[in-house]
Amino acid sequence: MDYSNTTTVELSTPPRPASPRHRGGLWRELSGALAVGMSVLAVVVIVFQVLAWTRDVPGPGAWTVIGHVVAAALAVFVQRFADRLAGWAAAAAVVGVVVVSGLALWVFWWA
């Protein structure tokens, strides 16, 4: 066979996927776990208050429930910034999650 009259066609290559950004990090993951833990704790406090109402016994109280829910919401909100930002801003958000969680635990459990 004579291939002298054939033309060469260059096939297009698909674009290379962007390299994944480094999104993890020990401190960011720990603060995320802390935010989730605060959310779980808020749900537990709500359940205990509902059980206390149904059994007609004193429970944690409305302010304790509201405080836990606000602290959990704030911790998750700040954690979103920690997950989306980089550098010093992410570090400040991680510290914010730790501070919010620490204050909630101190006020409602240890003080």
Give residue 13's pLDDT: 81
pTM of the model: 0.76
Alpha carbon separation from 96 to 6, 31, 87 (Å, rounded): 67, 9, 14
Q: Of all helices (H) and strands (E), which one includes residue 28?
A: helix 26-55
pLDDT at site 20: 59
Token look-up 């290379």 returns 16
Distance CA 49, CA 27 (A): 33
pLDDT tens, position by position, 52-83: 999 999 999 999 999 999 999 999 999 999 99
How many CB atoms are located within 10 Å of the residue 46 CB?
15
1-50 pLDDT, tens per residue?
Answer: 666 777 777 777 877 776 656 566 899 999 999 999 999 999 999 999 99
